[in-house]
């Protein structure tokens, strides 16, 4: 039988086992469509490309997703790698499937300028995808899981790059969604490529003790099963060695050899109901001696990712410690597949059941980070999303979830910003503790407040762990200390002006102040001074902008003083503008901007009447205009054009720069453009040897002044040798 068809029939068997109500004719139609679309494309292992979407669909079916998700998994590479379009999929398989495939495709199409930007943008896009439709991220995780399973066919450098990305992004997100089985496999596959020598040491050591371990598992499983059966409890008991990456962390994080890792073994007892869970716990503690402090009740206090189980660590008869996890079958499904086990869909129309509150953490994180730069956003994600959690109680018994390492200050601001602002002390488990006390699981925390409190201290910013507390403290300083901030900010601003030899009169001219406030989004100079005062923006950054505005104003005055050089630079006749451009004697004609010179408002321009594509707008210094043969028959096709009101438009153009290659210079250039709110469409680099790199940046600007300012800022970056517009 055809190997691909054999794999497809295996997919069918998985679907029928997990989803007996699925329309198999639709699944077959999707498979046939995807296979035809990928045609002769091959994978690096020499198999047909369709084997990858098939494998991803198998994973999606195994974790319990719906029919649309299985179809989308089969089609997930079609838009990216074939001629198939979004509309093709929508027409044949419906809006939902098309939207999911489009979401997965968008996660794969982003190019990056640095590792930090790459990580931040990937995470941001994944979170947005999750907030819109969780199925997008689940299929993306399935896609990555299969790619990691077949990574041996990829070059060594690519293996390490993808493994690191998987370890830093995909495994933590799988954990946050409660998909422990997937998370473990992603971690185990990744660490094999990140440290093959260390992993081989562990696997070789486990092979040597395999027979001994199997005998131990059999003895414990038999003993637990017989004891529980004698008490009428139906159960399934199985044992396993902890997964590879868990052992790896124990060995290399704590500098141990394999024989020194004591908690290698874990047993799982699955029963029918919650009452049996607690009964089993009693019998386990009766059979084996429990280790004090090693019991965790995740049934009474579930993890934020919905995980529930009882965990206890005991000492076996052989003196070996092992962990026992006790859960119901429903809890087991959630532990294995997390959010996927609970993502239900209404019959018929495929609308989502109201499970949205389960993803509230995604939206809260996005909302709190809307105004943050890349570094702050990445920090917030590492703290709020990827760090381990700590669970503490209010005096009323409510559970509060905080990042590990949190203090009473984090707890206070989690309750309410006013509780934090009026905090005067904290009591943990009946004892007074200092502000920097690290909270532990199960602590009962009480905050003392007073209306006479002076508010938070700036030192608290060095103690706290949660971004929520950090933002609230900054907001307090911004609001409550305004007058003090204005005074300090103004002094810092004026001192920086003196350092740059800029007169206060020039800096505070109406033209400069208007542009400065508009660009920085402050309503008044006092607002700007206050921001400098409380640390929201640096005086140096503001003064650099002032310097740029003054230079731009001086250049504009010089140009205005020059006489008109030729009739082609006269103002174009009044016509109805299209895309901010008026064309002499024509209304509502098709207008496009020539890619050879990418004109923007403020550039002297000329139009060329193309054959069938309307008027192409060129800069007057474009080589295609300067060098055209004025005796040719095309001379009559050049036409006068001009700029109308262009406030509502953004114009694409290109900047070219010659830079000395150094670590971080690309990030510095991107950061400079980001401070100006200039949109970057693409960023390409080309190594030209001798330690030099040629950079081409496609940007969107409102006019020539904004472009000139952007180029000036790029030129100010250390290591930039030359900056110019792309030649026409």
* Active-site residue, selected from the candidate residues 17, 32, 45, 80: 80
Q: In Å, how far are 522, 544, 570, 717, 718 from 672, measured between CA atoms?
A: 19, 11, 35, 8, 12
Cβ proximity of 409 and 469 under 8 Å: yes
Provide the b/e sequence for 417-431 (b: ≥16 CB within 10 Å): beebbbbeebebeee
Residue 80 annotated as catalytic = yes
CA distances from 550 to 289, 504, 540 (A): 78, 12, 15
The token duo for 477 is: 């300083």
Contact of 38 with 83, CB cutoff 8 Å: no
Q: Is the dihedral of CA 506, 510, 511, 512 positive or negative?
A: positive
**Token output for 574:** 């009044």
Long-range CB pairs of 213-221, under 8 A, 24+ apart, other chains included: 213/241, 213/264, 213/265, 216/265, 216/316, 216/318, 216/320, 217/265, 217/267, 220/265, 220/267, 220/316, 220/322, 221/267
Radius of gyration in angstroms for the set of CA atoms belonging to the chain, rounded to a whole number: 32
Q: Which tokens is 439 given? A: 């909270």
Residue 203 half-sphere exposure, CB side, CA atoms within 13 Å?
12
SS3 548: helix
Helix (H, G, I), strand (E, B) or coil at 243: coil
Q: Which of 555, 487, 488, 544 is nearest to 516 (CA)?
A: 544
Q: Which of 12, 81, 506, 621 is catalytic?
A: 81
Contact at 8 Å (CB) between 174 and 183? yes
Six token digits for residue 329? 């079958």
- Sequence-distant (≥ 6) Cβ neighbours of residue 585 within 8 angstroms: 573, 575, 639
Q: How far is CA 609 from the centre of its chain?
A: 45
Q: Is 343 exposed, middle or buried (0-12, 13-18, 19+ CB in 10 A)?
A: buried
Mention every residue, 6+ apart, whose C-beta is less than 8 A from residue 527. Answer: none
**Secondary structure class of 538 (helix, strand, coil):** coil
The answer to whether 678 and 700 have CB atoms below 8 angstroms apart is: yes
- Rounded Cα–Cα distance for residues 472 and 462 (Å): 14
Output 630-637 pairs: Cβ under 8 A, ≥24 positions apart.
637/608, 637/609, 637/610
CA 255 to each of CA 170, 189, 248, 252, 259: distance values in angstroms, whole numbers, following the listed order? 27, 22, 10, 5, 12
Active-site annotation, residues: 80-81
């Amino acid at each position: 039988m055809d190997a691909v068809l054999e794999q497809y029939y295996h997919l069918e068997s998985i679907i029928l086992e997990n989803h007996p109500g699925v329309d198999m004719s639709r699944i077959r139609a999707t498979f046939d469509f995807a296979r035809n679309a990928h045609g002769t494309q091959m994978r690096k292992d020499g198999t047909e490309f369709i084997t990858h979407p098939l494998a991803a669909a198998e994973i999606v079916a195994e974790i319990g997703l719906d029919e649309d998700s299985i179809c989308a998994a089969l089609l997930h590479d079609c838009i990216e790698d074939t001629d198939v379009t979004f509309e093709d999929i929508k027409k044949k398989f419906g809006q939902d499937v098309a939207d999911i495939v489009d979401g997965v495709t968008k996660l794969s199409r982003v190019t990056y300028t640095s590792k930090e930007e790459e990580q931040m943008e990937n995470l941001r896009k994944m979170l947005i995808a999750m907030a819109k439709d969780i199925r997008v991220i689940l299929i993306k995780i399935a896609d990555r899981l299969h790619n990691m399973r077949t990574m041996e066919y990829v070059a060594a450098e690519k293996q390490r790059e993808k493994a690191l990305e998987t370890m830093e992004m995909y495994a933590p997100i799988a954990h946050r969604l409660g998909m422990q089985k997937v998370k473990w496999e992603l971690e185990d596959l990744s660490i094999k490529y990140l440290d093959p020598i260390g992993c081989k040491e562990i696997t070789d050591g486990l092979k040597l003790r395999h027979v001994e371990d199997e005998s131990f598992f059999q003895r414990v499983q038999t003993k637990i099963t017989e004891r529980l059966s004698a008490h009428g409890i139906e159960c399934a008991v199985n044992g396993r060695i902890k997964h590879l990456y868990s052992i790896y962390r124990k060995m290399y994080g704590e500098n141990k050899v394999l024989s020194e890792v004591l908690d290698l073994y874990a047993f799982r007892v699955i029963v029918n109901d919650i009452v049996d869970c607690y009964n089993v716990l009693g019998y386990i503690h009766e059979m084996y001696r429990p280790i004090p402090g090693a019991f965790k009740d995740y049934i009474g206090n579930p993890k934020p990712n919905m995980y529930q189980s009882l965990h206890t660590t005991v000492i076996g008869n052989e003196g070996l410690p092992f962990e026992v996890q006790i859960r119901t079958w429903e809890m087991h499904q959630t532990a294995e597949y997390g959010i996927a086990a609970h993502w239900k869909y209404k019959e018929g129309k495929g609308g989502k059941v109201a499970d949205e509150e389960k993803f509230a953490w995604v939206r809260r994180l996005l909302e709190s980070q809307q105004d943050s730069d890349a570094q702050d956003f990445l920090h917030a994600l590492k703290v709020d999303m990827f760090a381990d959690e700590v669970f503490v109680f209010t005096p009323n018994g409510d559970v509060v979830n905080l990042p590990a390492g949190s203090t009473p200050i984090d707890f206070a601001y989690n309750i309410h910003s006013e509780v934090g602002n009026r905090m005067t002390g904290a009591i943990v488990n009946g004892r007074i503790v200092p502000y920097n006390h690290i909270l532990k699981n199960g602590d009962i925390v009480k905050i003392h407040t007073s209306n006479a409190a002076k508010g938070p201290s700036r030192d608290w910013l060095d103690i706290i762990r949660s971004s929520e507390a950090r933002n609230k403290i900054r907001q307090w300083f911004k609001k409550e200390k305004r007058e003090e901030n204005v005074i300090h900010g103004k002094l810092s601003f004026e001192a920086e002006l003196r350092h740059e030899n800029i007169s206060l009169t020039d800096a505070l001219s109406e033209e400069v102040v208007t542009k400065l406030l508009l660009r920085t989004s402050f309503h008044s100079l006092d607002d700007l001074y206050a921001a400098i005062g409380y640390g929201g923006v640096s005086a140096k950054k503001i003064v650099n902008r002032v310097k740029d505005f003054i230079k731009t104003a001086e250049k504009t005055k010089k140009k205005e003083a020059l006489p008109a050089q030729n009739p082609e630079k006269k103002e174009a006749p009044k016509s109805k503008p299209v895309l901010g451009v008026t064309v002499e004697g024509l209304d509502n004609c098709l207008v496009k901007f020539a890619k050879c010179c990418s004109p923007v408002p403020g550039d002297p321009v000329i139009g060329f009447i193309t054959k069938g594509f309307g008027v192409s707008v060129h800069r007057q210094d474009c080589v295609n205009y300067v060098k055209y043969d004025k005796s040719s028959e095309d001379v009559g096709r050049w036409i006068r054009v001009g700029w109308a009101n262009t406030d509502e438009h953004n114009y694409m153009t290109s900047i070219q720069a010659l830079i000395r290659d150094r670590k971080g210079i690309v990030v510095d250039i991107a950061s400079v453009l980001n401070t100006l709110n200039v949109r970057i469409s693409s960023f390409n680099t080309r190594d030209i040897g001798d330690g030099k790199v040629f950079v081409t940046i496609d940007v969107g600007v409102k006019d020539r002044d904004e472009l000139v300012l952007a180029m000036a800022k790029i030129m100010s970056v250390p290591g930039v040798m030359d900056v110019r517009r792309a030649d026409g």
